Amino acid sequence: MTRPTKRALVTGITGQDGSYLAEFLLDKGYEVHGLVRRSSTFGTQRIEHLYRDIHEVERPLVLHHGDMADGNGLARLIREIRPDEVYNLAAQSHVRVSFDQPTYTADVTAVGVLRLLEAIRDLQDAAGYQIRFYQASSSEMFGKVAETPQRETTPFHPRSPYGVAKLYAHWITVNYRESYGLHVSCGILFNHESPRRGETFVTRKITRAATRIKLGLQSKLYLGNLDARRDWGFAGDYVEAMWLMLQQDTPDDYVVATDATFSVREFCEQAFGRLGLDYRDFVAIDQRYFRPAEVDLLLGCSDKARGQLGWQPRVSFPELVTLMVDADLELARREQVLRDAGLNSILPLR
């Protein structure tokens, strides 16, 4: 086994992006440490394949219990691991949920970042040891957009407790760079999806439902605002941009996007269309899925990331829909087999 060249700590490693980033860093030869929340059930489905590999080929992946709400625990971990790079992906990341849990969202998604930055600053002061830090900022910070497309210089106007929490996290990261000379960068990422996307985000909700409808496992799909427009990319492409930011000599902030926008309705059309179905026959509107304040339109301009990082997305919108539908069709087929065998109660989540 080749000796790992660098050590990274990934918070949110059990999430969509965390799982792709862990894969990416392991392939680059990193020793990867992940922060995992304690829960009464296993929450590590998205990284199980990386864990399984450990027993076959030696894969330097180590998981640690911790929580963004626990500053002492985070500081102790940073001291013990002494990572070269920290990728902060942990967050209460659901916009609709943030309206129901605003205080929790602020604690984890906003103040959690401050806890990590303080731990990094303390270690840098005590040991003269530089840790590079990535903050997962969000296009939700643009909210009620001041201009289109949105770029690094576009003024922010968040429209949800999540967006406001991300804005605090963004500015405190910038502040620690300016105040203490930390090597910290923010990726202002527009929506990015994959077959590993959480099932309550709209794209995955649509591809799960469309494929289950196709196989007769479900009859209707209830959605909210079909006219919202998003700049949707593939998560696997976006984690490379995170890594590229930390390889720069100078820390900075970058918009990461495909620079194309589509509506939720267009996503439905394409997803159901891939299965030979007309979405209008199956989609119904449920007011519960509308938000108290909506972000109507997001469209990124990623010229800076493309020019300075040499990054570009590889997966287009139609390719993204196709790969998600095809993966969920396979999942639905397995679900159908289990159902036919009378094993509904032990259906695997993924």
Residues with catalytic function: 138, 140, 162
Residues 6+ apart with CB under 8 A from 84: 6, 7, 8, 131, 132
Residue 142 has which token pair?
A: 């643009």
CA distance 45 to 61: 15
313 lies in the binding site for ligand NAP (CB under 6 A)? no
x-marked contacts with ligand NAP along 182-221 as a string, rule CB under 6 A: -------x-xx-----x-----------------------
- The distance in angstroms from the start CA to the end CA of the chain is 31
**Closest CB 134 distance from ligand NAP, rounded Å:** 10
Pick one of ligand NAP, ligand F7E, none as the site partner of residue 108 (Cβ within 5 to 8 A by kind).
ligand NAP
Pick one of ligand F7E, ligand NAP, none as the site partner of residue 12 (Cβ within 5 to 8 A by kind).
ligand NAP
Among 37, 265, 333, 339, binds ligand NAP (CB under 6 A): 37
Q: Which residue is nearest to ligand NAP (CB)?
A: 15
Among 14, 150, 185, 302, binds ligand NAP (CB under 6 A): 14
Pick one of ligand NAP, ligand F7E, none as the site partner of residue 261 (Cβ within 5 to 8 A by kind).
none
Residues 27-58: b if buried by 16+ CB within 10 A, e if exposed: eeebbbbbbbbeeeeeebebbeebeeeeeeee
**Closest CB 6 distance from ligand F7E, rounded Å:** 27
Is the CB of 12 or the CB of 195 nearer to ligand NAP?
A: 12
Q: How buried is residue 15: exposed, middle or buried, by Cβ count under 10 Å (0-12/13-18/19+)?
A: buried
Residue 203 has which token pair?
A: 């794209």
Is the CB of 108 or the CB of 131 nearer to ligand F7E?
A: 108
Pick one of ligand NAP, ligand F7E, none as the site partner of residue 89 (Cβ within 5 to 8 A by kind).
ligand NAP
Residues 6+ apart with CB under 8 A from 320: 193, 232, 233, 234
Give the binding site for ligand F7E (CB under 6 A): 93, 95-96, 138-140, 190-191, 200-202, 205, 223-225, 228, 230, 264, 289, 291, 294-295
Pick one of ligand NAP, ligand F7E, none as the site partner of residue 4 (Cβ within 5 to 8 A by kind).
none
Interface segment toward ligand NAP; rule CB under 6 A; list 15-23, 141-149, 276-284, 302-310: 15-23
CA distance 225 to 308: 36
302 lies in the binding site for ligand NAP (CB under 6 A)? no
Residue 240 has which token pair?
A: 């490379």
69 lies in the binding site for ligand NAP (CB under 6 A)? yes
Is the CB of 139 or the CB of 150 nearer to ligand F7E?
A: 139
Tell me which residues touch ligand NAP (CB under 6 A): 11-12, 14-18, 35, 37, 43, 67-69, 89-93, 108, 136, 138, 189, 191-192, 198
